[in-house]
Amino acid sequence: MIYEIFMPKLTHDMQTGILVAWVKKENDLVKKGDVLFEVETDKAISEVEAEDEGYLRGISVEDGQEVKVGEVIAYLTSDETEPLPAGSGSQPTDEAPEQPEAVAGEPVMKKEDPSPDSVSPESVSPDSLERIFISPIARRMAEESQIDIHKVPGSGPRGRIIERDITAVLAARAATKPGKLANTVAYQDRRMSRANQVMAARMVESVQTIPQFVVEMAVRLDEVLRYKAIWQEQHQKKLSLTAILIRAVSQVLGGFPLLNASVIEPETIRVYEDINIGIAFQTAESLLVPVVHNAPARSMFEIMTIMDQFRMVASERGFQPEDLALGTFTISNLGMYGVERFTALINPPQTAILAVGSSHDQLVRTDKGFGFCSAIALRLSTDHRVITGVYASQFLTALRELLENPKTLILQEVDQR
């Protein structure tokens, strides 16, 4: 029995994946559930498990190679000697390769040997007899900068050379260079990570294909801050404004289905029944959007726990594909960095994103005259093909009313405790 092993589709928009490393080797006996190889998508590195049992044979893709989704890359066979399909990577043969006849005064070369003209000094060095594990990005950087990868120590898994190793070599090289002419500027070219390339492409797509319309509304935070203190005392756990916003937005979105939707064709709007709130997170390499799935059913405590988990893995790029999939609405909060207001670009194919600024003092009229209160600016970017200014304003008004009277968001949990 022969089972095909192919590059899986790990995210809804995945077209290709980089096979980071084979965990199992040619002719290894594999059991169902064993990890076969690791795949790098635009968002994360994931382990791929065997769905059947057998001997791993016919590996046709090397570590670091980019592969199309659905392409067959190896086989599992119940018998070690079972013939593989024609054209597979390691098909055995009983025939010895044909050797050329010797010509007087010339060396005899095997057919599989490279021609003398194609052999570089590096390829025949003793170090080249050992297999070098290197990521595609690091390999391209090394080639462009003429760096001998045999002399670069790898800091990745199993000694794999990764981007930061090549960057370190370039930095050391720059430090030893003699001083430049006064009319030149020192610089260093850095190749974008795969995740950063995808983010860049999506942002270009956002501004080129989505007519974006922005509305803004100020929201008073006095009551939110008061009830936040009550919640923290009851639960003995810190509560972030982002968590409060996730719960508030998820409660309001049900009444504004066009904001929980995608434009999938010029004449088709896909309105989602589930409300999954994505949160923009900065990682070491790029901006990722992990998702709080089924947000309306989550308690404030559950949302805060999920947010804590996101923070732990954000700096390590440990998000799994399922953490980043199926978002229907996005929140981007830069308030903790002191940004009072900003405009966020819509995350395609969604129809809206909410930008949250920092709290600030706002002058308001009271029964006793004028006074100051704590407030934030909420700025909603929407797809103007679907959302009108009135519709967006009505959503922000409903969200403001809920945040300025947050008893149903927070006190309900306090009372139930």
What's the pLDDT at 262? Answer: 94
Supply the pLDDT for residue 389. 95
Q: Is residue 358 in some structural domain?
A: yes
Q: Which pLDDT does position 106 carry in this prediction?
A: 39
Q: Which whole number is the average pLDDT over 7-13?
A: 82
Tokens (6 digits) for 185? 């500027």
Cα separation, 97 vs 122, in Å, equals 27
DSSP string, 243-310: HHHHHHHHHHHTT-GGGSEEEEETTEEEE-SS--EEE-EE-SSSEE--EETTGGG--HHHHHHHHHHH
Rounded to the nearest 5 degrees, what angle is found at the Cα of 265, between the Cα atoms of 263 and 266?
Answer: 95
Which of 66-80, 125-139, 196-210, 390-404 ranks highest by mean pLDDT?
Answer: 390-404
Please indicate, yes or no, whether the overall pTM of this predicted structure exceeds 0.75: no
Which percentage of the chain shows pLDDT scores above 90? 37
pLDDT band at residue 416 under the 50/70/90 scheme: very low
What per-residue confidence (pLDDT) applies to 410? 66
CATH of the domain at 165: 4.10.320.10
Residue 181 lies in a domain: no
CATH value at residue 7? 2.40.50.100
Same domain, 256 and 361: yes
Residue 340's contacts (CB-CB under 8 Å, 6 or more residues apart) are 357, 358, 360, 377
Instruction: Check residues 274 and 321 and name the one with the higher pLDDT.
Output: 274
Average pLDDT over residues 10-26: 84
Could you tell me if 392 and 341 lie in one domain?
Answer: yes
> Pick from 352, 328, 341: which is nearest to 212 by CA?
352
Inform me whether the pLDDT recorded for 354 exceeds 80: yes
Using pLDDT thresholds of 50, 70 and 90, give the confidence band for residue 94.
Answer: very low
191 within some domain: no
pLDDT above 70 for 127: no
pLDDT at 120 over 50: no
DSSP-derived 3-state class of residue 217: strand
E strands, 267-408, where? 268-271, 277-279, 281-282, 287-288, 291-292, 329-333, 352-356, 360-366, 369-383
Question: What would the mean pLDDT of 21-38 be, rounded to a whole number?
Answer: 90
What average pLDDT is seen over the chain? 81
Cα gap 175→63, rounded to integer Å = 32
Lowest mean pLDDT among 58-72, 148-162, 386-400: 148-162
Domain span holding position 157: 122-176
Q: Is 387 exposed, middle or buried (0-12, 13-18, 19+ CB in 10 A)?
A: buried
More confident residue, 267 or 103: 267
Give the CATH number, domain containing residue 238. 3.30.559.10
Is it the case that residue 116 has pLDDT exceeding 60? no
The verdict on 405 and 273 lying in the same domain is yes
pLDDT in tens, 233-289: 988 889 999 999 999 999 999 999 999 999 988 789 999 999 999 999 887 767 889
Residue 117 has pLDDT above 90, yes or no: no
The pLDDT of 395-410, averaged and rounded, is 90
Least confident of 13-17, 19-23, 178-182, 407-411: 178-182
Q: What pLDDT, on a 0 to 100 scale, did the predictor assign at position 403?
A: 94
In this structure, the answer to whether residues 137 and 266 fall within a common structural domain is no
Closest CA to 25 of 158, 122, 151: 158
Same domain, 358 and 278: yes
In a domain, 106, yes or no: no
3-state secondary structure of 341: coil
Average pLDDT over residues 320-330: 90
Q: Is residue 67 assigned to a domain?
A: yes
Mean pLDDT over 136-149 rounds to 84
Do 288 and 356 lie in one domain? The reply is yes
**Residues 70-93: what's their mean pLDDT?**
77
Does residue 160 sit in the same domain as residue 242? no
Higher-confidence residue of 338 and 373: namely 338
Given a cut of 50, whether residue 417 has pLDDT beyond it is no
Q: Each residue of 156-208: pLDDT tens digit? A: 766 778 888 888 888 888 776 655 555 567 777 777 777 777 778 888 988 88
Does 218 fall in a domain? yes
Helix, strand, or coil here: 343? coil
* Tens digits of residue pLDDT in 284-311: 767 889 999 999 999 999 999 999 989 8
User: Binning pLDDT at 50, 70 and 90, where does residue 14 land?
Assistant: confident
Residue 288 domain-assigned (yes or no): yes
* Same-domain pairing of 282 and 391: yes
Residues 15 and 127 both lie in one domain: no
Of 176, 211, 246, the position where a domain reaches its end is: 176
208 and 326 share one domain: yes
Residue 51 has pLDDT above 80, yes or no: yes
Q: Which two tokens stand for residue 138?
A: 């690091």
- Of 77, 100, 130, which residue sits at a domain end? 77
Domain tally, the chain: 3
Q: Rounded to a whole number, what is the distance in angstroms from the first to the last CA of the chain?
A: 57
Segment 8-35 mean pLDDT: 86
Predicted local distance difference test score (pLDDT) of residue 178: 59
CB 387 within 8 A of CB 393: no
Of the ranges 136-150, 388-402, 403-417, the best mean pLDDT one? 388-402
- Is residue 155 located within the same domain as residue 216? no
Look at residue 89 in the predicted model and tell me its pLDDT: 54
> Which stretch of 54-68, 143-157, 378-392, 394-408 has the lowest confidence by average pLDDT?
143-157
Classify residue 308: in a domain, yes or no. yes
pLDDT at 6 over 60: yes
66 shares a domain with 153: no
